């Protein structure tokens, strides 16, 4: 299984390539599927961000679900998904978020992930 260090390296690379280095440095870690369920209440969550500062939409952590059977390309795609949330924290999964995903896809982000 890949390390949190690799995940952090990818975060920095994707931030530079697709977000002009404008995303904040955030803690980013792997969690097991069981931990994802425990902390986020969703049995099949593959990734999540947290925003603990009350009254703000400022992301402060990223978590990626990982087990020995999950291909690394899915981890990279999950990370790109979360970076779009960090870039557009108020957007949920609506049009603004989808437009951001499309923008990075046009830049080749998901080709890099696969």
CATH of the domain at 96: 3.30.2010.10
Higher pLDDT, 71 or 21: 21
Mean pLDDT of the chain, nearest integer: 86
Asked if the model's pLDDT at residue 54 lies above 80, the reply is no
Mean pLDDT, residues 74-92 taken together:
91
Mean pLDDT, residues 63-80 taken together:
87
Cβ contact 80:71 at 8 Å: no
Asked if the model's pLDDT at residue 41 lies above 50, the reply is yes
Cβ contact 35:61 at 8 Å: no
Domain that holds residue 18: 4-113
Domain count, the chain: 1
Cβ contact 91:49 at 8 Å: no
Asked if the model's pLDDT at residue 48 lies above 90, the reply is no
Mean pLDDT, residues 65-85 taken together:
88
- State both tokens at 40: 């986020």
Q: How confident is the model at residue 1 (pLDDT cuts 50, 70, 90)?
A: very low
Point out the least confidently predicted range of 41-50, 76-85, 98-107: 41-50
DSSP H helices in 20-91: 33-40, 72-87
The number of helix segments (H) and strand segments (E) in the chain equals 5, 3
Which residues are within 8 A (CB) of 80 and not within 5 positions of it... i.e. 6 or more apart?
14, 18, 101, 104, 109, 110, 113
Provide the edge-to-edge strand list for the sheet that holds 47-50.
Answer: 28-31, 61-65, 47-50
Stretch (H or E) spanning 62:
strand 61-65
Asked if the model's pLDDT at residue 3 lies above 60, the reply is yes
């Amino acid at each position: 299984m890949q390390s949190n260090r690799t995940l952090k390296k990818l975060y920095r690379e994707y931030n530079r390539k697709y977000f002009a280095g404008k995303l904040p440095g955030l803690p980013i870690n792997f969690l097991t599927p069981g931990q994802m369920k425990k902390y986020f209440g969703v049995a099949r969550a593959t990734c999540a961000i947290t925003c603990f500062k009350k009254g703000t939409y400022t992301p402060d952590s990223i978590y990626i679900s990982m087990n020995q059977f999950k291909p690394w390309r899915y981890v990279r795609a999950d990370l790109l998904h979360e970076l779009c949330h960090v870039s557009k924290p108020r957007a949920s999964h609506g049009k603004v978020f989808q437009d951001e995903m499309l923008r990075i896809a046009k830049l080749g982000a998901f080709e890099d992930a696969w």
